[in-house]
Amino acid sequence: MRIIYFLDYGKYYGGAVNTLIQQACIMRDAGHSVVVFFSDYHGDGLGQQTKEKLDEYRIIPNRMTYQVTNNPEDIDVMCIDENYEMDYEIIKGLNADILHSVQLNPLVELISRELNLPHIMNIYPFLDDFFKVHYSDIFPKYMTCDSNYWGDKWKQKINVDFVCIRTAVKHCEYAGRRINPNNIRCIMVGDIYKGKNQLNVIKGFREAVDSGFGGILELYGNNLSDYAKECKTYVIDNDMESRVIFHGFVSDIDNVYKNSDVLICGSIRESYPNVISEALSHGLLVVSTPVAGIPEVVVDGKNGLLTDGYEKEDFAKALIKAKEYVINGKVGKIALEAVETAKVIHSKEKVYEGLFALYNKATKESLCCDRRYLITDFRKEFFELINCYKKKETTFSDKELIRLKLWYLRYWKKAILDSLGKGKHFYLWGAGNNAKKVLEIISVFLPEVRLKAVIDSNKKGMFENYQIISPEEYWRDVEGAAILSLYNGQADVVDLFKGRGKQYGTDYFILGPREW
């Protein structure tokens, strides 16, 4: 069997990419022919982390241009239109049996239909807002997911069955470890950003220390984001530098696991993270939030610890309990259960079994009868938007943002105009970096919309000939509707709308970059 794998962008290396690379290696090592592509969509080539991992797995990657996204609002229409024929010829020439993508990959999906090849997508979390409209058929017929939780949610949205295939581990080993209850080494592994919730973990760790927890907390992963800076500032301001240490990305993570006692996963949005399976396989005590698919594997008090919630108090409470388990000896039994869990669920043999069964099923099924939406249909549907973009392309200050909003405009323009027709007064929320770009989108693609004002919490005066008003002034307009341009803080503004009973697609729309 020949399988082509389509990774994410070469510059970035995350859990989703790692999962697909593991799957490619498992199939290759079982004797199948494997070809791996990464996307040069951003023209960045391969990042250092990606290079190191590909070398470790003995993979020589190929380059192709396609877009990957986990957000069905952000489909790059122009990328599909511009690269279809070239990518089609490359894929056709490889005589593949299966195509397998890291996340949503509509360009490869459309090519698979013309070639009558099964295309599998690994799918991950989404926001319910993403499916407030009915999209054209660019979604896969075959999906894998590393949790039943999110697999079921995708099935509800696009009516496609999925196969739950957990992340794989290299090996399961636990020689037993003595843990000093006064010096417990805790780790967090993964890029530092809000979804991983490291700041609340750090605050909880501090509370646990104040309550008698002894040990250190070490964080491994990219720590250059603004959120990471916020975490570091908190550590410095609270004199915790000797107890909370930021290491950045390390390639030899196995060695970190071998020399650690507790893995903390503080995520508020996950499917099922690689770090959980890796920690279980090394017999670490996993302390995790009960998010998404994690409770499907981690059973509180049996093979790990689940927090009651996602706040600092929840992490402090769990860490104190972890210390109790160390003192009373229960941690040893949990470690043995953790390794056994990894053997049963996360072994390469188990992953191969699931993949091969899915691939075998997919190659035996006919795809033509129910995959009618092809590249010709796509180009017909988006003809006007594509032409409009091409005519104005040289005038846009941020082509990338606008390319990502053409798909959005195709499905949301009618809703915007419907709101306008019902007497809604439109405002632009945010007078920051993205506001001018969103004004360009409105001017070119939504000329019917006449904005009343710009809303901003911190600025006053005028912005691009529009009066700046405060959010409080905006809420006084009962017929107000907003187009959001801001990125930072966007989720907080969305929460404001929802808290006031406002509806996405009626009372507010998002033309700035999507924060989620």
Q: Looking at the domain assignment, is residue 497 inside a domain?
A: yes
pLDDT in tens, 225-267: 889 999 999 999 999 999 999 998 887 888 999 999 999 999 9
Beta-ladder partners of 35:
4
Cα 302 to Cα 260, 262, 286, 341, 420, distances in angstroms? 19, 15, 11, 10, 56
Range in 75-84, 245-254, 334-343 the model is least confident about: 245-254
Indicate whether 97 and 156 sit together in one domain. yes
CATH of the domain at 498: 3.40.50.720
Indicate whether 370 and 391 sit together in one domain. no
Q: Looking at the domain assignment, is residue 277 inside a domain?
A: yes
Q: Looking at the domain assignment, is residue 479 inside a domain?
A: yes
Indicate whether 406 and 456 sit together in one domain. yes
Indicate whether 285 and 388 sit together in one domain. no
Indicate whether 254 and 106 sit together in one domain. no
- How large a percentage of the chain has pLDDT more than 90? 86
Q: Looking at the domain assignment, is residue 76 inside a domain?
A: yes
Indicate whether 196 and 99 sit together in one domain. no
The tokens describing 57, both together, are 């797995």
Please state, in angstroms and rounded to a whole number, the distance separating the CA atoms of residues 79 and 98. 22
pLDDT, averaged across the chain: 93
The last residue of a domain, from among 376, 395, 430: 376
pLDDT in tens, 114-166: 999 999 999 999 999 999 999 999 999 999 999 999 999 999 999 998 999 99
Q: Looking at the domain assignment, is residue 176 inside a domain?
A: no
Q: Looking at the domain assignment, is residue 161 inside a domain?
A: yes
Indicate whether 190 and 232 sit together in one domain. yes
Q: Looking at the domain assignment, is residue 319 inside a domain?
A: yes
Cβ atoms of 260 and 187 closer than 8 Å: yes
Question: Structural domain tally of the chain?
Answer: 3
Please state, in angstroms and rounded to a whole number, the distance separating the CA atoms of residues 498 and 395. 35
Indicate whether 220 and 333 sit together in one domain. yes
Indicate whether 259 and 341 sit together in one domain. yes
Indicate whether 398 and 442 sit together in one domain. yes
The last residue of a domain, from among 331, 357, 376: 376
Residue 142 belongs to domain spanning: 2-168+349-376
Q: Which 3 state secondary structure label does DSSP give 463?
A: strand
Beta-ladder partners of 163:
144
Range in 4-18, 265-279, 412-426, 493-507 the model is least confident about: 4-18
CATH of the domain at 45: 3.40.50.2000
Q: Looking at the domain assignment, is residue 174 inside a domain?
A: no
The tokens describing 309, both together, are 């919630």
What single-letter DSSP state applies at residue 294? G
Indicate whether 304 and 319 sit together in one domain. yes
- Judged against a pLDDT cut of 70, whether residue 175 lies above it is answered with no
- Judged against a pLDDT cut of 70, whether residue 371 lies above it is answered with no
pLDDT in tens, 434-476: 999 999 999 999 999 999 999 999 999 999 999 999 999 999 9
Indicate whether 250 and 294 sit together in one domain. yes
Cα 75 to Cα 401, 506, 514, distances in angstroms? 11, 22, 12
pLDDT in tens, 381-391: 999 999 999 99
